[in-house]
Structure 1
Amino acid sequence: MLVGCFLLGSFSLIALTAVRWWGDVIVESTFLGNHTSLVVLNLKYGFWFFVLSEAFLFVSFFWAFFNSSIGELSQQGVGHWPPLGVKSICPWKVPALNTAVLVGSGLFVNWAHGAVKAHGLVSMDDSKGNNSKVFMGRVYTGGEYWRIQGLISLGITIVLGIFFTWLQATEYYMASYTIADSVFGSAFFILTGFHGAHVIAGTLFLTVCWVRLYLYHFSYQHHHFGMYAATIYWHFVDLVWVFVYGIIYIWGH
């Protein structure tokens, strides 16, 4: 009971911190105009360093997996990987589908990022119709065409992120081993679990960007750092999963 209270309090504090932080960034950039080009440049450098620190976090987990597996396999026929009694998950079923879903979502987030950039370069007030385009049977003028494309592609990316999380949860439920079953189980659930947490965070990040795009926060000649950061983060999640799939699922199997 006490542990549950501490867990709930910790998650509540994290959620409050994230909401307040995102809210301050949105207010400072969109409504106060405090994000000058120099501030945005520093934010980009800071975000890239954050992604680098996350990369080293996963490197440590991969290192632990390799160290344990090669140690077992180096025992000249005595050791086994996965250890005896542990039946690894077939990489050509749900994991392969998860890979297709996540890689496909990376294509859609690129589409969304390009649409938001174009939306920020074209004025919404286009009375002469110089930038009018037809999309899904309707004529859109100015930046509205790119805004609609961004909303659709970003929405598809969010749905694919949620679908990936659901598939991962289903895989956990059907797995024949737990985090307590040898070092293989520990390494598997730590790596895939941390990656899943990053997918959830990235999905929330993209959802915030979708709401901001819907509310015209990425307007004419307004920077789109939020969308830029979300796109970089999502591609990082994609790249990490490619390594997870190749090393943990295929090579580990």
Structure 2
Amino acid sequence: MSAATHSGHTPYYFVPPPSAYPVLTAIGLFFVILGAGQWVNGHEWGKFSLFFGLAWWAAVIFKWFSQAIHESETGLYGKRIDTSFRWSMSWFIFSEVMFFGAFFGALFWSRIYSVPTLGSLDNQILWPDFKAVWPSLQAGATAAPGGTVEPFHTVGPWPLPTLNTALLLTSGVTLTIAHHALIAGKRATTIAWMWVTVLLGATFVGVQAFEYHHAYTELNLKLSSGIFGSTFFMLTGFHGFHVLVGMLMLLFITLRLMKGHFTPQRHFGFEGAAWYWHFVDVVWLGLYAVVYWM
């Protein structure tokens, strides 16, 4: 049952009424996973399930978020809800830290322990042709016995990864400028810098898509290119997805700013998106150093 409120008064702690949105969202995600799983296994009907699920999911999320925005703008979210949102976003970002930590751990373990061990004297009888060399240290090294992985070349730090690093770092600066402008009550300035931030994020995604095309078509670097290929695309691919999600978050925040939402005193929706974006920036710095330079 929703919290009882009087006109013009914020409830002690707003509790929304029962909603069908969580179940409807789960239905959409079911078709997404079903379709993706079938499509990658050669069933053409899987793509229709995937796209149907994405469309369903997007429609439900739009309605759900619109309801939450309406609740916020009509004064139903007080200080305690704001605190709940802050804790929720903090734990969500912590879960993302653990998510990327697992992939960084896989990269570290493979490079520092697994590959040298497989190339040791104890394994020479089983795999006499194995090269215990990490591919980023030796161009074209597949680190595979019997030619099970096609020769490939790695992606160096210049120019695209370095360009993307500059784009993300610059976007963090423009986002911070927008935040300070919002606190100062300069809405027009905030909106302008937010659009710059969104553009920088979209450009990053475009540059990474070009980098992937270059890796597949010219370097023969693929997800199937041994442990190097799998860790490279898992780390950079998931990060790119997070950049896309963060860019969409900032886009919606910008559109809300243009509608007059948020005040210098109450704008956690803006702050939550900014926290996420700065987290994405920090993860990229780790990726840039470990994946492209080392």
User: Is the pair's TM-score, using the shorter chain for normalization, greater than 0.5?
Assistant: yes
Return the structure number with greater relative CO, CA threshold 8 A, min gap 6.
1
2:133 aligned residue = 80
Pairwise CA distance, 1:9: 2.5
Write the mapping of 1:1-253 to structure 2, written as runs, cut at 5 A: 1-30=44-73, 32-70=74-112, 71-74=114-117, 75=119, 78-82=131-135, 83-84=141-142, 85-119=151-185, 146-175=186-215, 176=219, 177-219=221-263, 221=265, 223-251=266-294
CA distance in 1, matches of 2:200, 2:248: 12
* Structure 1 residue runs of 4 or more that deviate by more than 4 Å after TM superposition: none
Contact 2:183 2:264 in 1 (8 A): no
Pairwise CA distance, 1:15: 1.9
CA distance in 1, matches of 2:47, 2:202: 25
Residue type of the partner of 2:236? Answer: T
Query: SS in structure 1 opposite 2:184?
Result: helix
CA distance in 1, matches of 2:161, 2:75: 44
Q: Structure 1 residues 179 and 55, CA, compared in 2 at 3 Å: closer, same or farther?
A: same
Pairwise CA distance, 1:220: 6.2
Residue type of the partner of 1:170? Answer: F
Residue type of the partner of 2:75? Answer: G
What whole-Å deviation, never above 9, does each CA across 1:3-27 have from its counterpart, x for those lacking one?
1012212322432343233212211
- Extract unaligned runs of 5+ from structure 2: 1-43, 121-129, 136-140, 143-150
Pairwise CA distance, 1:180: 1.2
> C-alpha root-mean-square deviation of aligned residues, in Å?
1.6
Compute the TM-score of the two structures, normalised by the length of structure 1: 0.84
What whole-Å deviation, never above 9, does each CA across 1:56-103 have from its counterpart, x for those lacking one?
110111111111112214535940112422311111211001000001
Compute the TM-score of the two structures, normalised by the length of structure 2: 0.72
User: Size of the alignment, in residue pairs?
Assistant: 223
Query: SS in structure 2 opposite 1:104?
Result: helix
CA distance in 2, matches of 1:225, 1:148: 19
2:5 aligned residue = none
Q: Structure 1 residues 111 and 188, CA, compared in 2 at 3 Å: closer, same or farther?
A: same
- Extract unaligned runs of 5+ from structure 1: 120-145
Structure label with greater radius of gyration: 2
Contact 2:106 2:231 in 1 (8 A): yes
Pairwise CA distance, 1:118: 2.0
